[in-house]
């Protein structure tokens, strides 16, 4: 019986914690594929594939840059500190937050860590705007540059 590999999914921060050398290699391969799509399509910013799947594309860019993704355990409780990428309802933008388990101090590191995320994304042709929501919760809204 042959083993069937699961399709690669970038870590969005809402799944289980994924680590290891195999994971790093898979991320590197996926990101190189994304950059190759840009090269073949002759675009300097997000290609059509990225524009149609912005949550996946942004999560892949952040993971490839070595930034940690947040994670949730089997009960849906946050168990790791890092970025979380989610869709913004009714918009072509995605939201990037910096989250962690209760007591992790993630909210204190959020401003600086989100600036790191924004730097990575801007260097890849994304527009990343910083916002502060209720209770001074910092987040980014990210969309492809025109």
Residue 133 is predicted with a pLDDT of 83
- pTM for this entry: 0.92
Low-confidence residues in the chain, pLDDT < 70: 1-5
pLDDT of 77-88, one tens digit each?
999 999 999 999
Residue 3 is predicted with a pLDDT of 55
DSSP 129: E
Phi/psi of residue 141, nearest 5 degrees: -110, 130
The answer to whether the CB of 70 falls within 8 A of the CB of 48 is no
């Amino acid at each position: 019986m042959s083993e069937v590999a699961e399709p690669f999914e970038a870590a969005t921060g809402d799944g289980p914690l994924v680590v290891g050398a195999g994971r790093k290699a898979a991320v590197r391969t996926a990101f190189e594929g994304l950059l190759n799509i840009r090269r073949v399509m002759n675009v300097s910013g997000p290609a059509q594939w990225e524009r149609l799947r912005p949550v996946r594309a942004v999560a892949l860019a952040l993971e490839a840059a070595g930034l940690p993704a947040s994670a949730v355990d089997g009960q849906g409780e946050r168990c790791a500190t890092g970025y979380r990428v989610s869709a913004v309802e009714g918009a072509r933008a995605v939201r990037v937050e910096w989250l962690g388990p209760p007591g992790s101090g993630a909210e204190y590191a959020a401003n600086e860590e989100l600036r790191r995320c924004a730097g990575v994304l801007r260097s890849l042709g994304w527009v990343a705007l910083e916002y502060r929501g209720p209770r001074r919760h910092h987040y980014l809204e990210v969309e492809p540059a025109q």
